[in-house]
Amino acid sequence: MKNIVVLDMDGTVWRSVAWSIDLFCTLLARHGVAITPELRRAVTIKWGIHFAELREEFFPQLSNDTVYGIYDSMRPIVEIVPFCGTAAALGTMRSRGKDLYALTSRPRLHTRELLRQNRLDRFFTRIVCVEDVGWDKAKPSSHGLELVLEPLERTLGISREEAVYVGDGLIADRVCAINAGVKFIAANEENVVTREMWLAAGVPDEDIISSIRELPARLARL
């Protein structure tokens, strides 16, 4: 039984990743970076992790401050829209006794405001944000997941066998779950990472959901 459900936000709870990748590439191009097919594929695969690997390989001429500035400038531009049926799915999971946690690389105030605006904050026990984790321990490090799991293990004796992590990042989320030793479910509504890519990475077909609306039923079968 999986009673602890940790959810990535972007691309899992709300639509934003495809827009973000397009905007990121557009802004890189304005800084003189050639947006090759190889760069776009790398951005897609590595979206959600620290940008250091991308910068070193594809745009070393840009400083860290410049890239941080690009991310900061994107935040008010990218439209954040919860996927259809998100509130109903979260409510169903809570009614079935699931304890829900959020794990995101967004800043806390921004995340809480987005959740509040969309009346989703009421579903989450705890929200772990970039301020809690730090960029040096961002996904795919398991540090953020450990901040959820370790107190549950230490104070309540809840095993991480009872936990599942749900995310849309081929590396950021999938490897984060592997590093934490928890079950992973791939959320694929934006189809930025294709089903074929998930399967090639070793994610079982039954663990690739097309929408968060499918998550309550998938958890019921675990």
Judge whether residue 1 has pLDDT over 80: no
- For 64, the enclosing helix (H) or strand (E) is helix 64-74
pLDDT, mean of residues 197-218: 98
pLDDT, mean of residues 154-173: 96
**pLDDT tens digit string along 32-47?**
999 999 999 999 999 9
Q: How far apart are CA 161 and CA 184, in angstroms?
A: 11
Check residue 76 and give its pLDDT. 86
Q: How far apart are CA 139 and CA 148, in angstroms?
A: 14
Q: Give all domains of the chain, ordered by start, each with its CATH number.
A: 4-15+81-220 (3.40.50.1000), 17-74 (no CATH)
Q: How far apart are CA 166 and CA 189, in angstroms?
A: 12
Cis peptide before 140 (omega within 30 of 0): yes
**pLDDT tens digit string along 100-148?**
999 999 999 999 999 999 999 999 999 999 999 988 898 999 999 999 9
Q: How far apart are CA 220 and CA 217, in angstroms?
A: 5
Residue 182's Cβ-side half-sphere holds a number of Cα atoms within 13 Å equal to: 32
Check residue 135 and give its pLDDT. 82
Check residue 152 and give its pLDDT. 95
- Please identify which residue in the block is written with the tokens 């663990």: 207
pTM summary value: 0.94
pLDDT, mean of residues 48-68: 93
Mean pLDDT over all residues of the chain?
95
Q: For residue 9, what are its two tokens? A: 């936000």
- Please identify which residue in the block is written with the tokens 């989703």: 120
Amino acid at 81: V
Check residue 47 and give its pLDDT. 95
**pLDDT tens digit string along 64-95?**
999 999 998 998 888 899 999 999 999 999 99
Judge whether residue 176 has pLDDT over 80: yes
pLDDT band, very low/low/confident/very high, at 174 (cuts 50, 70, 90): very high
Share of the chain above pLDDT 90, in %: 90
Which residues are 164's β-sheet partners?
5, 183
Check residue 50 and give its pLDDT. 86
Q: For residue 76, what are its two tokens? A: 């008010």
